Amino acid sequence: MTLDYDYAVLELKRAQKKKFMDLGISPEIDKMPGSRVHFSGFDDDRVGQLVYRFCSVSVESNDLFYQYCDAEPGSSGSGIYIRLKEPNKKKWNRKIIAIYSGHQWVDVGGEQQDYNVAIRITPLKYAQICLWVHGNNADCSQG
């Protein structure tokens, strides 16, 4: 099984009333503002406690980000976001651009390295998720 598509969309029984982050398309790491990704999760070793993390992405592929965020089992499925400055405004916005999946051994320059892995939201994945959520592509603007 490949991790490239290790994500899901859940339908809630009723609409939630709190603000939520928009979905966006993952930029390449050299175009990522501040070169950091952020996420929060519920680690197995800290029951009921939301843990916030941020780190830099070390390596990327077309579908995955590899990083060393200090994550524990239980964080899988967390939305990874970046902070973006809105053009001509002082306001910063956050967009989910990947989903934390776990760890994976990766061959980098002939050497095996253990990374935490995030599934990137590519334009194709963005379109698929938007279709799942809205039932058509007309309600989708590019992330």
Upper half-sphere CA count for residue 85 (Cβ side, 13 Å): 7
CA distance 64 to 56: 14
Span 106-125, pLDDT tens digits = 777 788 888 888 889 998 88
**Domains in the chain: ranges and CATH:** 22-134 (2.40.10.10)
Q: Whole-model pTM?
A: 0.81
Mean local confidence (pLDDT), 25-41: 83
Span 44-66, pLDDT tens digits = 777 788 888 888 888 888 888 88
With a cut of 60, say whether residue 1 has pLDDT above it.
no
CA angle 26, 27, 33 (to 5 degrees): 115
Q: What is the pLDDT of residue 41?
A: 81
CA distance 98 to 129: 12
Span 67-118, pLDDT tens digits = 888 777 777 888 888 887 777 777 778 889 998 887 778 777 788 888 888 8
H-assigned helices in the chain: 123-134
CA distance 86 to 90: 7
Q: What is the pLDDT of residue 11?
A: 81
Q: What radius of gyration, in Å, describes the C-alpha atoms of the chain?
A: 16
